[in-house]
Chains A and B, each alone.
Chain A
């Protein structure tokens, strides 16, 4: 079970959280301006990198807040967390 560092509550067990998939996929401001392919890309296409990945996490059974996290998908190590809306920190490594 992962130990997820909630930026608001501190490290808590994974069962309190829900992973919301890849971060930084903003809903298009004007969806009608996108053609079907571009809309499908927004809706369904996600990356699955080996290594550092930016993900959305929700502390569902805790403070109820969403945050972003950088997690290494190989080691499962959480490298950092940051608030929704903040840019992705420039970190590529991490154990």
Chain B
């Protein structure tokens, strides 16, 4: 397509490097240095999208990050498509496929524009009022239909093909924004020798100076000054320049997060480069030089394609060499639009400027235009046109009265309602804003963090002032205060009169003056919200959705705020402002996620026998960060069959479990026993070395925290085991008490989880399997009873051998140095073949322990369960004066008879396997809501008993033995009988002796 609107000899685009991309399938040509928006305008394309709610035709409004209208789906190839890109910031790259959004069947002919005709009912909060009944229609009909009709782009459905990285860095001074203030600040700070990072969101640094063809700074043109500043900074090793880098979040203690777009502007990027780089910067001092956003003016139909901001017209003309129209009408209430009009005129375009202010109020900017180019004291009451603006309807104002209308024919309108300092980052840093009436804007007031603002973001709009302020801020941030005056000419006129919705002679109820272009919020909507009682600006925002779109109201917030204050007749500071939150502009999920995806999403811990188990075809489950063998299916077996076979092997012969994931802590030192006495409810003083004991650990509130077997290796040394996922918790709990309550105790705590691998050999043949390999330990039942621990060797490897059982069977847990675990395992497995030795996983382990009635912390307990609740009050030493949790157990509530207590449940029909978590009631006929007695905590089909078994916690459960209760199932209630929570071997004979209890999750 020909670039009919390209202005010869103007702009910073590289005319030696033409590029072409497609827009809705049409080829569009441009040059390197163009944005999508400037290239489209150069080809005369003004219609760039349909609005969110009313599907009104929209064109580009701005030239930067604040763009609410021109949002595109951008396709860079498979896995590289993403929606809602602002045409004003995406660089035009050869080969890009770009399409507009929110229309069907096409941008030009959009069925959704029927919404615009029924606009009177689509007012603020319309869906709250309209789609109320019947309630059931909301989820299935109303919401999906509304979402389909009012939408943005299409979310990508393929995995992101790009790579994203994070970088952490420190600096002395971070300067955000490389316009005149930021450049001056960076020059000052880097001259002082400080490590400086200068970040700017645009492809090219320079900010507003890039569109300035008239100003000179110290005798240089604006463009030459930018070149000089950048060259100077590039020559300083202590300065880092980051372009295409947006500072989007300002967090605590000068933690500022930037996202750098590394490859999006390259047609064929090096595959080694990440698409984006997220910079986590910790800066000693920050200079905010983020500039200001121009405000639209409120008048009827101010959203037609071709109507844009005045400074945007200037930028397209001067920076990109593009005429957004040939007959341009500017509408304003201040001085800055005069410069835009004068520049457009200098580019050979036809201009007229309509100023709300009467002639007498207009300052030196008057000289920029000739008499017949200016209509002073005029208001704008509407526009004409359809898919492009064809005229602006204006009328003179005298004594507050709107005079006769006239239509100024045009193909572009540049409007300026003044400026809003970009205080987003300052506000995120928790600084307090103050309101300056003369510029009708909030500016940074008092700081909370080590930062300072300079330039337009502080409400300073004249170039000389901006540069001087930038220098001072940079020098101050560097800790070497200095000032420097810059000679900037010509002087910048800054006259301004606040106006939001322009005076009109039309019926205000029929005027649709858009404030928030992206969310289609009009001045009328704001008025309606206030009339309906939403007086807080935060409420008005949420009710009307003003400022809640992806542009976060950069162009609309102040207008809405001003309007609320006008309607309520309160000063703006009294109305307050909405809260600015990160991100400043949308950030890709990829940048946030970085490398934390796929295999590197989270660390994975594997047990020593993991690879062997994987080769055997084991299925794994996640337990905390561990991957544990879940079950070992043989060909043709499902999980149920495999688990049943594994359980039978343990009950009838022998099984092997990799229990290495158990947490292990060595408690060492002269005061180790005293420390254990204080940490655990049971007594440890009398536990002899060589003996194990079940340890139930409580929090100070008396509730169970964790459990595990504790072996006393020596008078001053305990080998403590914890549940797999509880290990860090238990270690932290112990350290907390040791360091902060009892620093006088001479004890050391060492995590030994990774050092010891653990092989559980369980079943009647367990002793026979290990016997040939063990040396230095007498394995006879007399010499090595249940709950004993011995040190010796297995296969010549040192071992801490424990005779413990979490299955109810005779069993051993062989602790060996982790690196030898697999060798020992393989030897036992080979030798055990004669007994049909069977590796079993965590599922079989759960079933086996449930048959025997052993609890799992986190399954039978939930942080509100006492030892007595699970029938373990026998663990509590009566002799000890104190231990963690003791006093809490003496509270009356801990002894109530109706506490939920652990019981067993048997399904009355002998078939139904209950659902874990299912609720339990006594009477199915009672009125709703029913009284819940408790819930099922564990439930399995027992392969040993050949019927379902379940554990549950039930209010007053131990007094309900034999009762019939009812449990919810997907098919309704099912009857269960309450029994003791032990289904097998209640006397504990299978381990050849008294079982002290179970452990290990």
Contacts and interface: CB of A to CB of B under 8 A. Distances in A.
Contacts of A3: 252-255, 282
Interface centre among A20, A27, A40, A84 (most CB of B within 10 A): A27
B700 interface: yes
Contacts of B732: 18, 58, 60
A1 B249 CA distance: 11
A43 B701 contact: yes
Contact of B736 (A34, A39, A66, A85): A66
Contacts of A60: 732
Contacts of A39: 887-888, 891
A31 B886 CA distance: 8
Contacts of B670: none
Interface in A34-74: 34, 36, 39-40, 43, 56, 58, 60, 64-66
Contacts of B735: 58, 64, 66
B385 interface: no
A3 B251 CA distance: 11
B701 A66 contact: no
A43 B886 CA distance: 12
Given A32-B882, A58-B732, A66 B739 contact: yes
Nearest to B255: A1
B888 A66 contact: no
Nearest to A76: B252
A75 B736 contact: no
B741 A1 contact: no
A84 B888 CA distance: 25
A91 interface: no
B299 to A, nearest CB: 43
A2 interface: yes
A56 to B, nearest CB: 7
Nearest to B257: A1
Interface string B733-753: 001100111010000000000
B350 to A, nearest CB: 54
How large, as a class, is the contact surface on chain A?
A: 20 to 34
Instruction: Identify which of B251, B701, B740 gathers the most chain A CB atoms within 10 Å of its CB.
Output: B740
Q: Which of A1, A18, A31, A64 has the most CB of B within 10 A?
A: A31
Contacts of A30: 882
Given A1-B251, A2-B253, A60-B732, A34 B887 contact: yes
B740 A66 contact: yes
Nearest to A56: B740
B237 interface: no
A64 B740 CA distance: 12
Contacts of A58: 732, 735-736
B746 to A, nearest CB: 16
B448 interface: yes
Contacts of B255: 1, 3, 13
B936 to A, nearest CB: 31
Contacts of B891: 36, 39-40
Contacts of B887: 31-32, 34, 39
A16 B806 CA distance: 36
A64 to B, nearest CB: 7
Given A1-B251, A76-B253, A32 B739 contact: no
B272 interface: no
Nearest to A66: B739
A84 B251 contact: no
Interface in A1-41: 1-3, 13-14, 18, 20, 26-27, 30-32, 34, 36, 39-40
Contacts of B892: 36
Contacts of A84: 739-740, 743
Contacts of B881: 32
Given A75-B448, A84-B743, A2 B882 contact: no
Interface in B866-893: 881-882, 886-888, 890-892
A14 B701 CA distance: 28
| Residue from B701, B736, B739 whose CB has the most chain A CB atoms within 10 Å | B739
B448 to A, nearest CB: 5
Nearest to B700: A43
Nearest to A60: B732
Nearest to A30: B882
Contacts of A18: 732
B56 to A, nearest CB: 42
B739 A65 contact: yes
Given A60-B732, A64-B735, A75-B448, A31 B882 contact: yes
A65 B255 CA distance: 24
Interface in B411-460: 430, 448-449
B741 A27 contact: yes
Contacts of B449: 75
A64 B333 CA distance: 62
Interface string B244-260: 00000001111100000
Given A2-B252, A36-B892, A85 B882 contact: no
B742 to A, nearest CB: 9
Contacts of B739: 65-66, 84
Nearest to B749: A64
A74 to B, nearest CB: 8
A43 B535 CA distance: 43
A75 B735 CA distance: 30
B678 to A, nearest CB: 10
A78 to B, nearest CB: 8
Nearest to B884: A27
Nearest to B744: A85
B251 A85 contact: no
Contacts of A85: 743
Contacts of A36: 891-892
Contacts of A40: 891
A2 B360 CA distance: 54
Nearest to A72: B448
B736 A1 contact: no
Nearest to B448: A75
A43 B888 contact: yes
Nearest to B751: A64
Contacts of B282: 3, 13
A43 B699 CA distance: 11
Given A36-B891, A64-B735, A1 B740 contact: no
Contacts of A14: 252
A18 B449 CA distance: 23
Contacts of B430: 75
A66 B737 CA distance: 10
Nearest to A32: B887
B466 to A, nearest CB: 28
A53 to B, nearest CB: 15
Interface in B709-754: 732, 735-736, 739-741, 743
A35 to B, nearest CB: 10
Interface string B119-139: 000000000000000000000
A45 to B, nearest CB: 13
A2 B282 CA distance: 10
A36 B736 CA distance: 24
A84 B739 CA distance: 8
29 contacts: A1-B251, A1-B253, A2-B253, A3-B253, A3-B254, A3-B282, A13-B255, A14-B252, A18-B732, A20-B736, A20-B740, A30-B882, A32-B881, A32-B886, A32-B887, A39-B887, A43-B700, A43-B888, A56-B740, A58-B732, A58-B735, A64-B735, A65-B739, A66-B736, A66-B739, A66-B740, A76-B253, A84-B743, A85-B743
Nearest 5 Cβ contacts at the A-B interface: A31-B887, A3-B253, A66-B739, A1-B255, A2-B252
Interface of A: 1-3, 13-14, 18, 20, 26-27, 30-32, 34, 36, 39-40, 43, 56, 58, 60, 64-66, 75-76, 84-85
Interface of B: 251-255, 282, 430, 448-449, 700-701, 732, 735-736, 739-741, 743, 881-882, 886-888, 890-892
Given A3-B282, A32-B881, A58-B732, 6 more contacts: A13-B255, A18-B732, A39-B888, A75-B430, A84-B740, A84-B743
